């Protein structure tokens, strides 16, 4: 798509958006996310901030 990133990790997360990959999932509701950083606000707002409850399928 032509987007550029200063950090490789940001590129990897972006590539997942094109591929539909969501390797991080909320253990409380099973919703998937492309990165831990995108999952944590979900946990805070939907589940009261229980940040211990996550997993990665990487």
CATH code at position 43: 3.30.160.60
The candidate with the shortest Cα–Cα distance to 56, out of 25, 16, 15, is 25
14 within domain boundaries: yes
The count of structural domains within the chain is 1
- Residue 42 lies in domain: 8-47
pLDDT in tens, 4-56: 999 999 999 899 999 999 999 998 999 999 999 999 999 999 998 766 644 56
Q: Looking at residue 53, what is its pLDDT?
A: 46
1 within domain boundaries: no
What is the spatial distance between Cα 46 and Cα 36, in angstroms, rounded to a whole number?
A: 15
55 within domain boundaries: no
Taking the whole predicted model, whether its pTM rises above 0.85 is answered as no
Q: Looking at residue 41, what is its pLDDT?
A: 92
Q: Looking at residue 48, what is its pLDDT?
A: 87
Q: Looking at residue 14, what is its pLDDT?
A: 93
């Amino acid at each position: 798509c032509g987007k550029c990133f200063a950090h490789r990790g940001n590129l990897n997360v972006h590539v997942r958006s094109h591929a539909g990959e969501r390797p991080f999932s909320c253990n409380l509701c099973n919703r998937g996310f492309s990165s831990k950083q995108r999952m944590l606000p979900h946990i805070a707002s939907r589940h009261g901030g229980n940040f211990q409850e996550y997993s990665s399928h990487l």
